[in-house]
Amino acid sequence: MHMRTTLDLDEKLVATAMKVTGVATKTSLIHLALEEIIRKANVKALLDFGGKIKIDNDVASSRGRS
């Protein structure tokens, strides 16, 4: 599903972002930026789990190496 909208964007910022990413259209640039925001949020959520899950797993015995 797509949504048409009007945005007021800084032209220099858009031009620089398009240059450094190699993206050819403003629409593609906005999609890339939104995907990156979501990716970073997901990575942060995973990192926030660090050390909070305790797994009692004896790898040797699970592989039959008691």
* pLDDT tens digits along 15-36: 999 999 999 999 999 999 999 9
Q: Count up the domains in the chain and report the number.
A: 1
Report yes or no on 5 lying in a domain. no
Average pLDDT of the residues of the chain: 89
Report yes or no on 15 lying in a domain. yes
Report yes or no on 61 lying in a domain. no
pLDDT at position 66 is: 61
Report yes or no on 60 lying in a domain. no
Decide if pLDDT at 54 tops 80: no
Tell me which residue range forms the domain holding 35: 11-49
Q: Is the pTM of this model over 0.75?
A: no
User: Helical H runs in the chain?
Assistant: 11-21, 26-48, 59-62
Q: Which of 11, 9, 36, 10 is nearest to 21 (CA)?
A: 36
